[in-house]
Structures are given as structure tokens and as C-alpha cells.
């Protein structure tokens, strides 16, 4: 099974320049992106079978990643 790429560049390609600017200017946005990237990397490792995890625990991580992505998107489309 091929895994989907969920990094922010693939999720929001139309906002790449804006994301880079906000990361430099907005500490909250930068922190959100860092946490999203860390969550995404952890989930990818679990999905690749590098580390075992219970299905329900993986779903909790995915929901947290989605909540962060939603918050990032709200900031991106606001300006």
C-alpha cells in the first residue's frame, strides 16, 4: 500500500510562499507548522511499520494532525 504524502507543501501547494512568510513573522503559525510536521513524521513511521502502535492510538494522532492542519488552513486563508 502506498502512503499519501501529508506534508504541508503537498497539502497546500497554493500557499507555499505565504506559509514561508508566516513562519518567519508569526511565532504561533511557525509553532503550529513545527508540531504538524512532527506529528506527520511520527504517523508516517507508524504507518510504515517501523514502530508498533494500536489502531486507536494511531487514530488519535491522525485527528490531532487534522486539527492542526485545519488551524493552519484557517490562518492561511484569512489574509
- The range of the structural domain enclosing residue 40 comes to 15-78
Total residue count of the chain as it appears in this document: 79
- The answer to whether residue 58 sits within a structural domain is yes
| Residue carrying C-alpha cell 486507536 | 56
Give a yes or no: residue 37 inside a domain: yes
Q: Is the pLDDT of residue 2 over 60?
A: no
How many separate domains does the chain show?
1
Q: What is the DSSP string of 21-64?
A: HHHHH-HHHHHHHHHHHHHHHHHHHHHTTSS---HHHHHHHHHH
- Provide the whole-model pTM: 0.88
DSSP letter, residue 7: S
For the cut 60, the answer to whether the pLDDT of residue 35 exceeds it is: yes
3-state SS assignment for residue 5? coil
- Answer for the pair 60, 54: CB distance below 8 angstroms, yes or no: no
Give the pLDDT confidence of 38-79 residue by residue, as tens digits. 999 999 999 888 888 999 999 999 999 999 999 999 999 996
Amino acid at each position: 500500500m502506498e502512503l499519501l504524502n501529508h506534508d504541508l507543501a503537498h497539502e497546500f501547494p497554493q500557499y507555499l510562499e505565504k506559509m514561508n512568510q508566516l513562519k518567519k513573522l508569526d511565532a504561533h503559525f511557525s509553532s503550529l507548522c513545527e508540531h504538524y510536521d512532527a506529528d506527520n513524521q511520527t504517523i508516517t513511521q507508524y504507518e510504515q511499520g517501523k514502530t508498533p502502535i494500536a489502531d486507536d492510538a494511531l487514530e488519535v494522532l491522525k485527528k490531532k494532525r487534522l486539527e492542526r492542519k485545519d488551524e493552519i488552513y484557517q490562518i492561511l486563508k484569512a489574509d
